[in-house]
Chain A
Amino acid sequence: MARKKNRMSQEVNAGSMADIAFLLLIFFLVTTTIASDKGITNILPPKQDPNVPPPDIKKNERNIFKILINSNDQLLVEDDFRDNTEGLDQDIKAFVLNFGNPNQENVDLYNSLPPSLKGISAKDPESSDHPNEAVVSIKTNRGTSYELYLEVLDLVKKAYFEIYAERVGLTADEYRALSSRDAAEKELMQRGKEDIPMAISIAEPDKTGGE
């Protein structure tokens, strides 16, 4: 059996396959957009029944953190004029965790907080009574820019998420990434949120200011 010395190369030439794959790859790169279903979630209030008068909400003024934005994108935060949104998240955190006039339940809540959050609490009788009562209210004008509105909403969310995350010992980014599908993560989420509801009220905008 004489072996043939000059055998054909066994390798298949696959160089052009790369070309074809590249072509497909570039096609997909160009025609697709990476799905960006990210954003700030919010739940709108239920619609009002015209037959039922709006409920009389007796909230103490001190339990509402008022943010007003006018059509020139100027802010009025708790009756103080502001040019920009700097430091707003810290103010909201201090407002929510003020514990000015807590009842027994909220004293327990206060005692369960980590020391870093306890430090924020000023116990100012002129500010919110306890987190369960605290409401952050954002009121815009028809001429307010959407960008600024979202920026303010973003900061309010940030304040709450930082509180939640701090309670369970995570960073805010980690906390936001928790998914409710995983039982252990869901439990963490619940523990962060417990007794501190994210109460954000978005008031109907004023009619003035134009479109």
Chain B
Amino acid sequence: MAKFKKKTKTEENIPTSALPDIIFMLLFFFMVTTVLREQELLVEQKLPQATQLQKLEKKSLISYLYVGKPKNTSLYGTEPIIQANDVPITTNDILLWVNQEKDNLSEAERDQITISLKADRDVKMGPIADIQFELREADARKVLYASVGKTK
């Protein structure tokens, strides 16, 4: 029966050398578009939804304030706390913190500092209003209420 077994000359294996190229392309895409999380979040973060989102053009001008219920309730209690950089702060520290953040910017950009307020959607307006008041005191008046797009 061996006579019927025709020896085919076609290659049996599929060339996969292009596969790494595709994967690398994806890899570079992710490397470029994403940033490594710089700090550990101490608070819960479920950003509220909104439709009229705007993008900020200069990332270097943004400083982040996280507001929400602490994750570690045994250490910080259940009331919403404010996190700046890596540490929880109180509203009284905001003035100092803003000035520190301003010092990191160049002279010309100092008054353009933008505070991205990443507040959890369950926070009440009380703490938010306190923060806004402190930001006015610190003359950091540009605020971005961070939110996610509405999915409807």
Contacts and interface: CB of A to CB of B under 8 A. Distances in A.
A154 B52 contact: yes
A40 B142 CA distance: 11
The B interface is mostly helix, strand or loop, or mixed, namely mixed
B27 A25 contact: yes
Interface stretch (A95-103, A104-112, A117-125, A203-211): A203-211
Contacts of B144: 37, 39-42
Interface in A103-146: 140-146
Contact of B129 (A11, A142, A151): A142
B54 A145 contact: no
B52 A205 contact: no
- Please tell me the size bucket of the interface on A: 35 or more
Contact of B50 (A143, A150, A202): A150
A44 B35 contact: no
Interface residues of B, number: 58
B24 A21 contact: yes
B108 interface: no
Contacts of A202: 132
B145 A11 contact: no
Given A28-B30, A40-B52, A142-B126, A11 B15 contact: yes
Given A33-B37, A47-B139, A40 B128 contact: no
A151 B47 CA distance: 12
A153 interface: yes
Interface string A159-199: 00100000000001000110111000000000000000000
A11 to B, nearest CB: 7
A70 B31 CA distance: 45
A21 B27 contact: yes
B86 interface: no
A39 B143 CA distance: 9
Contacts of B121: 145-147
Interface in B124-151: 124-129, 132-133, 135-137, 139, 141-149
Contacts of B93: none
Given A44-B132, A154-B51, A143 B125 contact: yes
B126 A143 contact: yes
Given A28-B30, A38-B53, 14 more contacts: A39-B53, A39-B147, A40-B50, A42-B142, A42-B143, A42-B145, A46-B139, A47-B137, A145-B125, A146-B123, A147-B121, A150-B48, A150-B145, A154-B147
Interface of B: 15-17, 19-20, 23-24, 26-27, 30-31, 33-37, 47-48, 50-57, 59, 62, 79, 114, 116-117, 119-129, 132-133, 135-137, 139, 141-149
26 contacts: A15-B19, A25-B23, A25-B27, A28-B27, A28-B31, A31-B36, A32-B35, A34-B34, A38-B146, A39-B116, A39-B144, A41-B143, A44-B141, A46-B136, A140-B125, A141-B125, A142-B124, A142-B126, A143-B126, A147-B122, A151-B48, A154-B50, A179-B57, A181-B57, A204-B129, A204-B133
